[in-house]
Amino acid sequence: MLSKRFGRLATGTVAGVMLMAAAACGSGTGGDTTASAQPSADASSAPAAGALKVGLAFDIGGRGDKSFNDAAYTGLEKAKTELGAEIKELSPASDGSNRGELLRQLADAGYNPIIGVGFAYGEDIKKTAEEYPEIQFAVVDSASNAANVTGLLFAEEQGSYLAGVAAATKAESGHVGFVGGVENDLIKKFEAGFAAGVKSVKADAKIDVKYLTPDGDFSGFKAPEKGKVAAEKMYQDGAEIVYHASGDSGLGVFQAAAAAKKKAIGVDSDQRQTIKETELQSVVMTSMLKRVDVGVFEFIKAFQGGAKGGSNVIYDLKVDGVGLATTGGEIDDIKDKLDEAKKGIVDGTITVPAKP
């Protein structure tokens, strides 16, 4: 069930996602599919009742980041409540150096399936899956072709396009900003979609862009002070709205917005609701929702139904795998424009770039 907090742009349900026919028939070729209702797996192959033990390894920042990791935990917790799963969560070291150890720890403790949150788990999941072929794995934001691994992928550029439309429509000067946590291909998808959305409204718009750390240095997702400094500069230079895709560092962006009496756009979760600092909530105009919670829960549900991996499931606008939050009502007055953009993306008349 999707909470009403996700608003009118995310009212669809990504229900009954199974892990692809390719895996069900024994193929490990790793075909891609958009998330959709799939036939139930053979019940005879389902795990025994009460045997569902799900392990989840967070990305850097761990539980409590009010964003990406917390969205994954919401899906895990839902599996505990609705599917009766026994759950275990682990967080990596600050530099992420022990990701593989966490996966093996969960595997040795009998957890199956196991989920790695974040593309940085890609290689570690691949290696661990080879060592434990009887266990099913999933990895968020990383494609896979292993027979016992499912890639949970998202069309971040599509949701970010809507964020760009909202920002450009609301920014009278046409001056906006983007703060990325780490300058890698994944976060560049957010930038690319956002810029395209902005330009679709105001072709001459000015977009300031700042990445907190270079590719490979994941500390940019947990550096609020750097996020604050980057956003402060943008606001001082005239940006009216700043969109961040920077994990924990987004807190600094919100602090800068509050000090400048301007607006920001959150990411992954409905950050107007998830940030604890009440004085910052009102600066979050909207958030680009990345439904990691849905992907995690549906993967677990599919596993319980007997489905196998070996595929990549893509959550896009068509299935409301991404979208915009409407908490606070600050984008209610531009709903028609956002709906029009969403329709164009879904029907293919608007092509959103995945690279800047």
- pLDDT tens digits, one per residue of 185-202: 999 999 999 999 999 999
**Who's near 349: CB < 8 A, 6+ residues apart?**
none
Q: State the total domains in the chain.
A: 2
Question: Rounded to 5, what percent of the chain is helix, strand, coil?
Answer: 45, 20, 35
Averages of pLDDT over runs of 10 residues in the chain (356 residues) are 34 37 34 48 42 94 83 96 97 92 98 96 96 97 93 97 98 98 97 98 98 95 96 98 96 98 96 92 97 96 90 94 97 98 98 97
Residue 313 lies in a domain: yes
Q: Give start and end residues of each alpha helix (H) in 261-334.
A: 271-274, 278-281, 292-304
**Who's near 96: CB < 8 A, 6+ residues apart?**
59, 60, 120, 218
Residue 57 lies in a domain: yes
Residue 175 phi, psi dihedral angles, 5° rounding: -105, 115
Give pLDDT, residue 10. 35
Residue 202 lies in a domain: yes
96 in the Ramachandran plot: left (φ > 0), alpha (ψ -120 to 50) or beta? left
Domain residues for the domain of 136 are: 4-155+292-319
Residues 228 and 335 in one domain: yes
How far apart are alpha carbons 203 and 256 in whole angstroms?
Answer: 27
Q: At what angle do helices 156-170 and 185-201 cross, to 10 degrees?
A: 40
Give pLDDT, residue 64. 82
Place of tokens 């939050």: 325
Residues 118 and 223 in one domain: no
Q: Residue 209's domain is classified under what CATH number?
A: 3.40.50.2300
Residues 248 and 334 in one domain: yes
Give pLDDT, residue 94. 86
Residues 151 and 162 in one domain: no
